[in-house]
């Protein structure tokens, strides 16, 4: 997957080419995604779930007939968890899917496809999920998109509406656009966190090496070899051993 550029926009519903009758509905969504992306990249330590909350809000405010939206992520033995939502109703729907282990978001993640639900009152694919949603929420239509990039499957973005047959082709395409950028931004945030974690690990290991070099009058290579041996003997990561060495150094 890749970010959309100006060549893509000309083929998407909502692209305004200046011709009479051209739909402009998605223009606000494009602008909102761009603004959110700029704000995320401007932060030094953006939190993934806070970013996902913002994308869920974009769906409910910029895609026609979307009442609620949520993001579920693949995680742990159960396979999924509710991560972000535009309100209490989508969180409840995600919780029902977690508990029943069935539903459109589960299928979107499992089968790597977009799942459309036009009318829950006529739905038969997920009996336990459908019964619970109909009895506990006003939601009657759903669109669920797999969230993925070329290197990782993240989960699913779900759009909800309180009326049957709420989503037209334009809304479905807008959802695809939002799902694409949600996954790409989530990947960028994750890489940022991993990079900063790596920098922190390198720094703490460097401090520990310096302490060992001074304490035992050894070279850098020997100090790192000592950290590695202690890591193997204690079955702890090198960075954990390094932090213990730094923490154990008497304060001046």
Percent of the chain with pLDDT over 90: 37
CATH number of the domain bearing residue 111: 3.30.450.40
Q: Let me know if residue 1 belongs to a domain.
A: no
CA distance 124 to 223: 64
Domain count, the chain: 2
Q: Let me know if residue 237 belongs to a domain.
A: yes
Using one digit for the tens of pLDDT, what is the confidence trace for 5-63?
333 333 333 333 333 333 445 668 878 888 887 887 777 667 778 888 889 999 988 89
Question: Do residues 203 and 222 share a domain?
Answer: yes
pLDDT category of residue 193 using cuts at 50, 70 and 90: low
**Burial per residue of 96-125, b for 16 or more beta-carbon CB atoms within 10 angstroms, e otherwise:** bbbebebbbbbbbbbeeebbbbeebeebee
Overall average pLDDT of the 156-181 stretch: 94
Using one digit for the tens of pLDDT, what is the confidence trace for 194-204?
666 666 678 88
Residue 162 pLDDT > 80: yes
| Average pLDDT across the chain, whole number | 82
**Domain span including residue 182:** 6-192
Q: Let me know if residue 228 belongs to a domain.
A: yes
Residue finishing a domain among 168, 192, 216: 192
Residue 1 pLDDT > 60: no
Question: What does the angle CA 148 – CA 116 – CA 59 come to, to the nearest 5 degrees?
Answer: 65
- Give the list of residues 6+ apart from residue 120 with CB closer than 8 angstroms, or none: 130, 133, 134, 139, 140, 141, 142, 164
Question: Do residues 82 and 133 share a domain?
Answer: yes
Q: Let me know if residue 20 belongs to a domain.
A: yes
Question: Do residues 183 and 137 share a domain?
Answer: yes
Overall average pLDDT of the 158-177 stretch: 94
Question: Do residues 225 and 140 share a domain?
Answer: no
Q: Let me know if residue 75 belongs to a domain.
A: yes
Which pLDDT value is given to residue 242? 84
Q: Let me know if residue 155 belongs to a domain.
A: yes
Question: Do residues 214 and 228 share a domain?
Answer: yes
pLDDT category of residue 2 using cuts at 50, 70 and 90: very low
Using one digit for the tens of pLDDT, what is the confidence trace for 102-117?
999 999 988 888 999 9
> Of residues 30 and 226, which shows the higher confidence score?
226
Overall average pLDDT of the 67-90 stretch: 82
Question: Do residues 123 and 212 share a domain?
Answer: no
Question: Do residues 57 and 138 share a domain?
Answer: yes
Q: Which of 12-16, 191-195, 218-222, 239-243 has the lowest mean pLDDT?
A: 12-16
**Which residue(s) pair with 81 in the sheet?**
73
Question: Do residues 59 and 103 share a domain?
Answer: yes
Q: Let me know if residue 44 belongs to a domain.
A: yes
Question: Do residues 231 and 155 share a domain?
Answer: no
Residue finishing a domain among 145, 167, 192: 192
Question: Do residues 139 and 44 share a domain?
Answer: yes
Question: Do residues 40 and 151 share a domain?
Answer: yes
Q: Let me know if residue 238 belongs to a domain.
A: yes
Q: Which of 36, 74, 29 is nearest to 52 (CA)?
A: 36
167 CB-contact burial (10 Å; exposed 0-12 / middle 13-18 / buried 19+): buried
CATH number of the domain bearing residue 215: 1.10.10.10
Overall average pLDDT of the 123-146 stretch: 97
pTM for the predicted model, two decimal places: 0.68
Question: Do residues 145 and 221 share a domain?
Answer: no
> Of residues 9 and 228, which shows the higher confidence score?
228
Tokens of 72: 């579920």
Q: HEC string of the chain? A: CCCCCHHHHCCCCCCCCCCCCCCCCCHHHHHHHHHHHHHHHHCCCCCHHHHHHHHHHHHHHHCCCCCEEEEEECCCCCCCEEEEECCHHHHHHHHHHHHHCCCHHHHHHHHCCCEEECCHHHCCCCHHHHHHHHHHCCCCEEEEEEEECCCCEEEEEEEEECCCCCCCHHHHHHHHHHHHHHHHHHHHHHHHHHHHHHHHHHHHHHHHHHHHHHHHCCCHHHHHHHHHHHHHHHCCCHHHHHHHHHHHCCCC
Overall average pLDDT of the 65-90 stretch: 83
């Amino acid at each position: 997957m890749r970010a959309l550029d100006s060549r893509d926009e000309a083929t998407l519903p909502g692209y305004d080419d200046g011709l009479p009758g051209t739909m402009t509905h998605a223009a606000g969504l494009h602008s909102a995604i761009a603004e959110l992306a700029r704000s995320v990249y401007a932060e030094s330590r953006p939190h993934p779930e806070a970013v996902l909350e913002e994308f869920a809000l974009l769906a409910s405010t910029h895609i026609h007939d979307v009442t609620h939206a949520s993001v579920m992520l693949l995680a742990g033995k159960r396979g999924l968890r509710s991560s972000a939502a535009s309100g209490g109703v989508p969180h409840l729907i995600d919780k029902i899917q977690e508990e029943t282990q069935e539903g459109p978001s589960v299928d979107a993640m499992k089968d790597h496809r977009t799942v459309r639900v036009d009318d829950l009152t006529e739905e038969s694919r997920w009996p336990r999920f459908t019964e619970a949603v109909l009895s506990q929420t006003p939601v009657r239509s759903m669109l669920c998109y797999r969230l993925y990039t070329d290197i990782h499957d993240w989960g699913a973005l779900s759009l909800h509406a309180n009326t049957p047959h709420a989503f037209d082709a334009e809304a479905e395409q807008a959802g695809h656009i939002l799902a694409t950028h949600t996954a790409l931004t989530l990947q960028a945030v994750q890489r940022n966190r991993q990079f900063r974690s790596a920098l922190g690990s390198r720094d703490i290991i460097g401090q520990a090496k310096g302490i060992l070099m001074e304490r035992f009058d050894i070279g850098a290579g020997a100090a790192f070899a000592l950290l590695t041996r202690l890591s193997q003997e204690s079955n702890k990561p090198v960075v954990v051993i390094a932090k213990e060495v730094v923490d154990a150094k008497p304060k001046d």
